[in-house]
Amino acid sequence: MSGVHTISGSHLSLEAIGAILSANFTLALSAEAETRIQTCYDYLQQKIKQTDQRIYGINTGFGALADKKVPAQDLEQLQRNLMMSHACGIGAEVPAEVVKLMLLLKVQSLAYGHSGVQLQTVKRLIDFFNREVYPVVYQQGSLGASGDLAPLAHLCLPLLGLGEANFQGYKLDSKHILEMFSWEPINLKAKEGLALLNGTQFMSAYGTWCLLQAKRLSAWADVIGALSLDAFSGRIDPFHPLLHQIRPHQGQIQTAERLRQLLQGSEIILQPKEHVQDPYSFRCMPQVHGASKDAIKYAADVFTTEVNAVTDNPSIFPEEDEIISGGNFHGQPLALALDFLAIALAELSSISERRIFQLLAGKNSLPEFLVAESGLNSGLMISQYTAASLVSQNKQLCAPASTDTIPSSNGQEDHVSMGANAATKLYQVVQNLETVLAIELLNAAQALEFRRPLQTSPALEKLVSAFRQEVPFIAADTLLHPHLKSTLSFMRKVEVEKI
């Protein structure tokens, strides 16, 4: 039975988000959060009654239409119109795991009580999360400024009984899902549609998901790299602590220490080496893997700040009697971090592919392509082609999105972040990295068998033993695709931090 995570507006860490997702927690609002949301809503409704002034997005149009005042009797229709007109996303559907995160992060942002939404609206988003009702959201259409308008419009359409949602493997009209649960459609009040559409939850959800995977895959890169080094009969010298004390980048020091730990007790590493130096892809793992670790940490800091922020506009401060229009929806901090993270993860795939190449090259007494009868058998030759293809695509995907901007809304929104494009590119980089590392694991485990009867370290021998329960040694040519799929499945099941 899953637990309950109570959203109170207190700090939400990436680790806590990971736990909510992996343990399938349901969500609930704390009493304090409910009070904040209701207080802000009541303040806004009273403010509307008491003023004739134009307040952006509340009694005005949007974007370039901000100077056009809307009569009081049309304020609810204004918000409904906003939701419908902005739902113009296109392209592939956003994966369910990211949509689930979008719901969580939108609720977290609204729970601070600066958005002026109805309590029932926030609770309905929680209902979607808890019942695994995932609105159909499309990957393309957001500029990453003015919030993720189009994706968030699609996320919130089902509140009104509009659009579609995925539920238990079926794509259904939202009105049918509301009927199924006896939920009434939400009638949006003043400012409410804007509060739902403004915000960075599309970028934030993609970035958060990718960061959770990045930390896992960074750990796998060290483990698989250590196994490859030993299977290659590489040297331990480049990981000596003295070497890294005189160039003390945190990630570099951590990686060198982890590699020493993983290789402790290996019989192979203690064997005399004929070669003086290893190729960079082995020797420079602390420097390369470490730099990626540091980049992951930077991105994690940015996204931790963002998921604990209010990013819709305008922001409402009931205690100060202020409604302030600004630009907290602008995704520039995220766009830069997303581009940086993509580069860091692409580099992990790049150095992994080079280790695959070295293992297959017939060096250090290993047979060419890691098969006994090469010529008759191609062995694992073509696995490197696959890895090279994915690495090349990663390099193409690392062209930064954040350096571009195209003005919109008649020039009112004249600088945008393009962070949404950075987010979806990063998602593909993460998937490609995972596959390249799986190919390296397949090759490293294969190469290790040619070092027998010598043993690698106890930690790595335990890993290889578990791996062999699912992926056999390849003695002669066979279909490699099933073995690669099994390797990916194995990596997703293993708690890599415990190796």
pLDDT digits (tens, 9 = 90+) for 131-164: 999 999 999 999 999 889 999 999 999 999 999 9
Here the tokens at position 279 are 């190729």
164-190 confidence digits (pLDDT tens) = 999 999 999 999 999 999 999 999 998
Do 214 and 173 share a structural domain? no
Do 220 and 164 share a structural domain? no
Do 145 and 263 share a structural domain? no
Task: DSSP for 225-283, please give it.
Answer: HHHHHHHTT--SGGG-HHHHHTS--HHHHHHHHHHHHHHTT-TTTTS--S-S---HHHH
What is the Cα 230 distance to its own chain's centre?
32
pLDDT, residue 142, reads 97
Q: Which domain holds residue 62?
A: 4-199
Q: Quote the CA–CA distance of 436 and 438 in Å, as a whole number.
A: 5
What is the count of structural domains for the chain?
A: 2
Q: Which of 153, 181, 199 is a domain's end point?
A: 199
Pairing status of strand 90-93 against strand 138-140: antiparallel
pLDDT, residue 412, reads 86
167 DSSP β-pair partners: 170
Which CATH number goes with the domain that contains 218? 1.20.200.10
Do 134 and 225 share a structural domain? no
What is the phi-psi region of residue 24: left when phi exceeds 0, alpha when psi lies from -120 to 50, beta otherwise? left
pTM assigned to the model: 0.96
Which amino acid is present at 214?
Answer: A
Q: Which of 151, 170, 199 is a domain's end point?
A: 199
Do 215 and 98 share a structural domain? no
pLDDT, residue 61, reads 63
Do 190 and 215 share a structural domain? no
Q: Identify the helix (H) or strand (E) that includes residue 134.
A: strand 134-135
Do 158 and 212 share a structural domain? no
Which CATH number goes with the domain that contains 98? 1.10.275.10
pLDDT, residue 83, reads 92
Count, in order, helices (H) and strands (E) of the chain.
18, 9
Question: Is 56 annotated in the active site?
Answer: yes
* Blockwise average pLDDT, block size 10, the chain, 499 residues: 87 96 96 97 90 73 66 81 94 98 98 97 98 98 94 98 97 97 94 93 98 98 98 98 98 98 98 95 98 98 98 94 93 98 98 98 96 90 98 98 93 93 98 98 98 98 98 96 98 96
Do 92 and 226 share a structural domain? no
Do 223 and 191 share a structural domain? no
Q: Exactly one of 41, 56, 134, 206 is catalytic; which is it?
A: 56
pLDDT, residue 62, reads 64
Burial 406-421 (b: 16+ CB within 10 A, else e): eebeeeebeebbbbbb
60 DSSP β-pair partners: 69
Do 440 and 482 share a structural domain? yes
Closest by Cα among 227, 224, 215 to 437: 224
Do 360 and 247 share a structural domain? yes
Helix (H, G, I), strand (E, B) or coil at 171: strand
Do 349 and 258 share a structural domain? yes
Q: Which of 199, 220, 239 is a domain's end point?
A: 199
pLDDT, residue 146, reads 84
